[in-house]
Structure 1
Amino acid sequence: MSSDSEFVQRADTAVYETEEPVLYGVADGIATLTMNRPTVNNAQNSQMTYALDDAFRRAVNDDAVKVIVLRGNGKHFSAGHDIGTPGRDINKEFDRASLWWDHTNKPGGEYLYAREQEVYLGMCRRWRELPKPTIAMVQGACIAGGLMLAWVCDLIVASDDAFFQDPVVRMGIPGVEYFAHPYELNPRIAKEFLFTGDRMSAERAYQMGMVNRLFAREGLEAGTYALAAAIAKQPRMGLALTKQAINHVEDLQGKRTAMDAVFAWHHFAHSHNELLSGDKLGGYDAKAMIEANKSAAGERR
């Protein structure tokens, strides 16, 4: 007799505000992927995540593309995972990009574990391994899940008014699913970043080596595309092998295995929250997180 629990049914109530969550264009050997949910600060629902995956694949398959730029439409790069808009589509089935099974009818912890293996950890790892150089062009907020999108890129170029933040420790969770914090920052700074949940300014991120170049907001686009154009002049195979070599060194330093361990702890935290409160996020939706940020900022003034 199987020990598997019975499948369940969940209602998909998502209402999308756009049918184009990601815009795609190519010019001068540079593909531009633009997250296009500006009314919700480019919060990442599955619709957007799968659209990003399709766009990255399209750019890789186009021999005319040498470099890929990822950017966000509107004031902000990305406010992170969608945990509170009408377009939150956690119960919708998609044509999956990896070999994990559909999560929507799975019971218990399997539901969220299968989904996040697919759309967060799995996709981020795929995007990190793209053979073409990628540049994140960051303005405004880059929060939680937004960090994951920036961190999978080879380079980060930011406006001087951008900020970076991972406040999910407030949910009792040890950082976002793609746990690159000790590699993007040194371990002591990574602890401070997570323990406090404070915003890190673009200048501070530049000092820590997380950001490659800083520009005033009005010069961000020109600066980013000048860098992309310079890289695009290099031979394709040289770029691909260099990227592969550096990623391999990071993995030899434990990046991949560490991420596997923290992903498991991340899901222990989700299960712990659900046992205590009935909510995997510990009672935090988007509005509650915004209020917590405001309160924390006020206390530190």
Structure 2
Amino acid sequence: MSEHIPEDLVLYELNDGVATITLNRPEVRNAQNGKLLYALDRAFQRFAFDDEAKVAILAGNGPHFSSGHDLGPTGDRETTFDRVSLWWDHVGKEGAENRFARESELYVGLCRRWRDLPKPTIAAVQGACIMGGLMLAWSCDLIVASEDAYFADVAVDFGIPGVELFAHPWELGSRKAKEFLFTADRLSAGDAHAAGMVNHVVPRAELMEFSTALATRIAGRPRIGLALAKQAVNQCDDLMGYRSGTDSVFGLHQLAHAHNAEVIGHMNGPGSTDLVKKALARDAK
């Protein structure tokens, strides 16, 4: 069983209880514009409501998982979509009313919504997983990375503390998170595994086979047990400050946007697209 979500931006395939949800903008390294993220939300809704779908794998078509948010001309920043929260539409608004509304819904809101899915999810990551790509992978319960995968957040180069959903301390630990942000160096799949952010590292050719086998193994276990185990871990993370911490840093993120807009004239600062391109091209250190 296989079908395309409208506009073919996200592919959905269900086999033997495992839903494979694939980002399908390989021509821009699966950069995330609004159309892609809402198509992804529709795919996750379908997974959530289908009793035959037990576990989902989130993958990226092409050589890279995701290069993050689309900061280029196809980023559709001034486009209205069918929203899933009760925030006002950002389109036509100015200043913080625009930025806060858009990013609360499109980035933090959707990622938290996917994190709270009652069914297990696995991110299968290859190549680049940069900035907004981190938030998609972190929204999943498990991460399987290919040996050539790498992770980066260059937000400090924009004068911004980190991506909108600031899960870095929970994913990497405080000291590694600081180094990751301060240096903007790539984190290799092996280093991410050593830090506990990634569950498994496998050869690139085996990424989907391994992820599917892991998903199939999980899919055979009781649904209610899996849902409660997932909720238990997420609740413990929240009690350790995940929810309040990410809320707090989202405010700092918006402060940085406001500073850039006032001082530089652009919320991300000039050359933000070039900074992401450099992160993609930078040799691993």
Give the equivalent residue in structure 2 for 1:156. Answer: 143
Give the equivalent residue in structure 1 for 2:44. Answer: 56
**SS of residue paired to 1:25:** strand
Percent of aligned pairs sharing the same letter? 56
**SS of residue paired to 2:123:** strand
Return the TM-score normalized by structure 1: 0.90
Give the equivalent residue in structure 1 for 2:213. Answer: 226
Cα distance in 1, alignment partners of residues 280 and 167 from structure 2: 22
CA contact (8 A) 2:67 2:280 kept: no
Query: Per-residue deviation at 1:138?
Result: 0.2
Q: 1:142 to 1:22 in 2, by over 3 A?
A: same
1:170 to 154, 157, 169: 157
Is 2:166 the counterpart of 1:208?
Answer: no
CA RMSD, Structure 1 to Structure 2 (Å) = 1.4
Cα distance in 1, alignment partners of residues 213 and 263 from structure 2: 51
Cα distance in 1, alignment partners of residues 200 and 219 from structure 2: 17
Return the TM-score normalized by structure 2: 0.95
Taking the TM superposition and a 5 Å limit, the aligned residue runs for 1:1-301 are 19-84=7-72, 86-291=73-278
**SS of residue paired to 1:19:** helix
Runs (4 or more) in structure 1 with deviation over 4 Å come to none
Query: Per-residue deviation at 1:287?
Result: 2.7
Cα distance in 2, alignment partners of residues 83 and 153 from structure 1: 24
Cα distance in 2, alignment partners of residues 40 and 146 from structure 1: 13
Cα distance in 1, alignment partners of residues 97 and 211 from structure 2: 41
Which entry has the higher C-alpha Rg, 1 or 2? 1
**SS of residue paired to 1:71:** strand
Q: Which amino acid letter does the alignment assign opposite residue 47 of structure 1?
A: K
Cα distance in 2, alignment partners of residues 220 and 32 from structure 1: 13
Cα distance in 2, alignment partners of residues 157 and 255 from structure 1: 22
Q: Which amino acid letter does the alignment assign opposite residue 68 of structure 1?
A: A
Cα distance in 2, alignment partners of residues 293 and 277 from structure 1: 25
Q: Which stretches in structure 1 are left out of the alignment for 5+ residues?
A: 1-17
**SS of residue paired to 2:7:** coil
Query: Per-residue deviation at 1:289?
Result: 3.2
